């Protein structure tokens, strides 16, 4: 495999990954689930209405507690 083939393969992988992420974001927003991002160690949330905030949405506030409770059962 030469450099051109590797570059083409890398482009295909990135294209497929970008498509999958976009599709997943759309599905999450359709279900009313915010998307989480991290930039320079700061967490941001994009709400289904498109607003980006640093405030943790109510959907995530008890998520860790619920997971910890479920793992103890």
One domain, residues 40 and 10: no
What is the pLDDT, as a whole number, of residue 66? 59
One domain, residues 24 and 40: no
Q: Which is higher by pLDDT, 63 or 40?
A: 40
Q: Which is higher by pLDDT, 64 or 15?
A: 15
Give the separation between CA 39 and CA 37, rounded to whole angstroms.
Answer: 7
Overall domain count for the chain: 2
One domain, residues 21 and 48: no
Residue 71 has pLDDT above 60, yes or no: no
One domain, residues 14 and 45: no
Q: Taking the CA atoms of 30, 20, 50 and 40 in sequence, report the sign of the dihedral they define.
A: positive
Strand partners, 53: 45
One domain, residues 1 and 16: yes
One domain, residues 37 and 64: yes
Tens-digit pLDDT profile for residues 7-61: 999 999 999 999 999 999 999 999 999 999 999 999 999 999 999 999 999 888 8
Q: Residue 24 sits in which domain range?
A: 1-31
One domain, residues 19 and 42: no
58 touches 45 (CB < 8 A)? no
**Backbone phi and psi for residue 41, each to the nearest 5 degrees, phi listed first:** 65, 20
């Amino acid at each position: 495999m030469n450099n051109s083939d590797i570059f083409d393969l890398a482009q295909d992988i990135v294209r497929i990954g970008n498509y999958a992420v976009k599709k997943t974001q759309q599905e999450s927003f359709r279900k009313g689930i915010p998307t989480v991002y991290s930039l320079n160690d700061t967490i941001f949330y994009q709400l289904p209405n498109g607003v980006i905030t640093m405030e943790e949405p109510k959907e995530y506030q008890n998520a860790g507690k619920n997971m910890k409770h479920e793992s103890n059962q």
